[in-house]
Amino acid sequence: MSTKRPGFPLPLQSVVKPATPAARRPASPSGSGGQGAPAPRAPTPSPLRSAAATPSPRPTPAVARTVDLPGTVARKVQKAAPAPQGLGLDSGAVRARMVQRLREQGVAHPAVLHALGLVERHRFVDAALAGQAYDDNALPIGLGQTISKPSVVARMLALLLGDRAAPLGRVLEIGTGCGYQSALLSHLAQEVYSIERLRGLHDKARENLRPLRLRNVHLMFGDGMLGYPSGAPYAGIVSAAGGAHLPSTWYEQLAMGGRLIAPTVTPAGHQALVLIEKTPQGPLQQVLEAVHFVPLKSGVE
């Protein structure tokens, strides 16, 4: 691990401004990997709603219906033998084993491990891949994108939190994908703003997250390279795509003392995970381990 201030990959004066939505960045090789902030400057957008700019007023969420079993059926259910523990993807024991593997691999932040144990990853992948949901693999989610490996997600979230035990304030996620990391962030931050440039994935994330009724998660459809200034400043920003340059808008929208976690391309042409902290003296950067994420692009599709 290397630490330097400032220089690669950011001094900000050399960081390009994001292209207009119609423009495209040259794609790098595709792949997968997968301080409390001040009060908001603009009205809080409604949860799980599409918005190109400012979300519309929050709708009343649908209430899940319950059905009472007839007395005879209820008695049969009570007498039925309990399901074996640890079997089936809906069992907490399956996620517990995944969490234990991650702990053995060095993930130590208790809040991150707790969130990973709560969120059902198999609900965010296609049914045909559900049996692989708790392996440490990246899986396709459509449109050439992937859900990152649990170990990569855990690593990035632990870096985002640092040594904080309490939840972060507001967090910006660049690249909603299928919504899995958004669900994890809902347990780690007071407010989560997540932006996705691909309409198909934005809609999929909304469908995946709707049953969870996460009131602190706000989904936007738009160009992630522009960030989301209405929710700034952010205690943390995490990106699920990487390019040769990090948009200056991300750093500008970061709160003082906040952290930015993103993959970027090194001068040698390899992708590496970068942690940038916003300090009064300027950006403090750490270039960390090699990773392989999909390329960062501008515009929407």
**Residues involved in catalysis:** 148
Say how far apart CA 123 and CA 90 lie, in whole Å.
Answer: 9
CA 216 to mean position of chain CA atoms: 13
Residues 6+ apart with CB under 8 A from 291: 33, 152, 242, 263, 271, 272, 273
Contact 176, 182 (CB under 8 A): yes
Instruction: Give whole-number Cα distances, 164 to 17, 107, 139, 167, 289, in Å.
Output: 31, 15, 30, 7, 22
- Residue whose tokens read 């001094």: 11
Say how far apart CA 252 and CA 241 lie, in whole Å.
Answer: 19
Give the number of other CB atoms < 10 A from CB of residue 253: 24
Strand partners, 218: 193
- Relative to beta strand 294-295, strand 271-279 is unpaired
Question: Angle, to 10 degrees, between the axis of helix 150-161 and the axis of helix 92-104?
Answer: 70
CA 82 to mean position of chain CA atoms: 35
